[in-house]
Structure 1
Amino acid sequence: MDIVKRPDKRAERSRRTREKVIQAARELFVAQGYGATSLQEVADRAGVAVQTVYFAFGNKRTLFKDVVDTSIAGDIEPVAIMDREWFRAACAEPAAVDQLRAHVRGTSEILGRVAPLMPMIESAGAADPQIAAGWPDGPDPRYVVQHAAAQALVGKPGARPDVSVAMAADLLFCLLSPQLYLLFVQDRGWSQDQWEEWARTTLTAQLCTGPATGAAPAAGTTPAAGAGPATGAGPAACP
């Protein structure tokens, strides 16, 4: 029995170490930038030897990509967004308004992790051409995800009959972008819940025949007391 269990224990230790290193790298990349962060600093923050970091990731570029991918997914499992349970469940909702609610909720969780990384991702790509070259060619992966969501939504009960898949995909792609999320949450001090409610009600008004329950924050209103500009906490094929 011990012989059978030992590999599983080693795999679990390896997984935990990988998670610690990725989290440490994320914190340092956000705080001081990709270029200014050394793998020795990452190792020190994670509490491991720098050789362990090299063994697990090979180099800083690979670690950077894993930080971005893990922030999108929420874990280190190699499962694409469209194969994630939350996305499949949202697309399986029988009514358009229910799919939008679940889709915006899942996207909000991802943006909370990814959006604060966007400035760092852009600066890293500018500083290291090999990082920029490492992103997929062709259509934006985020658009591919939103187009799949639009295909599932159009034609469902409650979906507007005059909205095409292409238009629905464009609306999802633009209104659920990390750039727009940061504009509201970081620049204007909205809470994540306020942004999520606004995104849901706005998309429901554009894509569905019936009104959304609840109301988006009125234009010009101040966020809840105590809510200041977000400091960023918490990556690229996010929804």
Structure 2
Amino acid sequence: MDGPVKRRYDTSRRQEQARENRRRILAAASALFREKGYAGTAMPEVAKAAGVSVQTVYKAFANKATLLKAVFDVTVAGDDEDVPIAGRDFIAEIQAEPDAVRKIELYLDHLAGIAPAVSPVQLLARDAAAADPAAAEVWAQMRREMLLAMTYFSADLLATGQVKPGLTADDVRDILWTYHGPEQYELLCLERGWSPQRYGKFLRDAMVAAVLA
């Protein structure tokens, strides 16, 4: 009887240790990517900063590009829980809101709040893509995921009946996707010094004017 109990205990302990190692690796990688850039960050440095072996890093993340994508995902979600963005409370709030303008306001409030953390990671992936095929695939995956998210958002806005006549779902999706790109944050906040709040209001006004009647 003691044997099975011990095995369950050992398995639970190993799983918790793996989760803790993953959290430490992600935190270390996030700090190093921001400080030294993608090309300037080496996996052994991540391991040292996280207090784990290099083998542990590679066991959790196949390569540096995979690690960058995981850093991005955790930054967007705010945690490493196994809950998709579509299942998060702020998405449910947007979907429940009947007014299209308010939907966009709620979304942009959220985006402006996370942009200072998320956009630099996106820009790291974009810049790394020019020299690293694995990073290029990660960047392409980020773009595909955002396009899919804006496809859902477009359908949600169209369902309100408040979208400009003549705009198709694809039109609305592409407009939202364009404004959502990290390039807007790069230009306005990083280069021109806008606050995230001003950036969010600009996007809100631009999206409303572009897609709503």
The TM-score range, normalised by the shorter chain, is 0.7 to 0.9
Q: Does 1:55 align with 2:59?
A: yes
Q: Is residue 206 of structure 1 aligned with residue 206 of structure 2?
A: no
Shift of 1:101: 1.4
Question: Is residue 2:42 matched to residue 1:38?
Answer: yes
Deviation per CA, 1:111-148, whole angstroms, max 9, x where unpaired? 332211234213322222233245667x8321221121
8 Å Cα contact 2:158/2:169 also seen in 1: yes
Residue in 2 aligned with 1:123? Answer: 127
Which ranges in structure 2 are unaligned for 5 or more consecutive residues?
none
| Closer/same/farther in 2, CA of residues 88 and 194 from structure 1, 3 Å limit | same
User: Following the alignment from structure 2 to structure 1, what is the Cα–Cα distance between the partners of residues 120 and 44?
Assistant: 24
User: Structure 1 residues 4 and 151 mapped into 2: Cα distance closer, same or farther (>3 Å)?
Assistant: same
User: Counterpart of 2:129 in 1: which secondary structure?
Assistant: helix
> Per the alignment, do residues 144 and 26 of structure 1 end up closer, same or farther by CA in structure 2, a change over 3 Å counting?
same
Per-residue Cα deviation, 1:67-95 (whole angstroms, up to 9, x for no partner): 23323333223444334332233123111
CA distance in 2 between counterparts of 1:143 and 1:51 reads 35
Measure the CA separation in 2 of the matches of 1:51 and 1:66: 17
Structure with the higher fraction of residues in helix conformation:
2
Cα-Cα RMSD: 2.8
- Is 1:68 the equivalent of 2:72? yes
How do residues 140-159 of structure 1 correspond to structure 2 at under 5 angstroms?
A: 140-156=144-160, 158-159=162-163
Q: Which moved more, 1:197-206 or 1:37-46?
A: 197-206
The higher relative CO (CA closer than 8 Å, separation ≥ 6) is in: 1
1:41 alignment partner AA: E
Q: How does 1:70-219 map to 2 (within 5 A)?
A: 70-133=74-137, 140-156=144-160, 158-209=162-213
Q: Distance in 1 between matches of 2:93 and 2:6?
A: 39
Does the CA-based 8 Å contact 2:32-2:46 persist in structure 1?
Answer: yes
- In the superposition, the TM-score normalised over structure 2's length comes to 0.81
Q: Secondary structure at the match of 2:108?
A: helix
Distance 1:64 1:34 in 2: 8
- Write the distance in 1 (CA, Å) between the matches of 2:109 and 2:9: 38
Counterparts of 2:70 and 2:166, CA distance in 1? 41
| Local SS of the residue matching 2:130 | helix
**2:37–2:124 CA contact under 8 A, matched in 1:** yes
With over 3 angstroms needed to count, the CA separation of the structure-2 counterparts of 1:21 and 1:158, relative to structure 1, is same
Distance apart, 1:10 and its partner CA: 4.2
User: Number of aligned pairs?
Assistant: 208
Whether the aligned pair in 2 keeps the contact of 1:101 and 1:200 (CA below 8 Å) is yes
TM-score normalized by the length of structure 1:
0.73
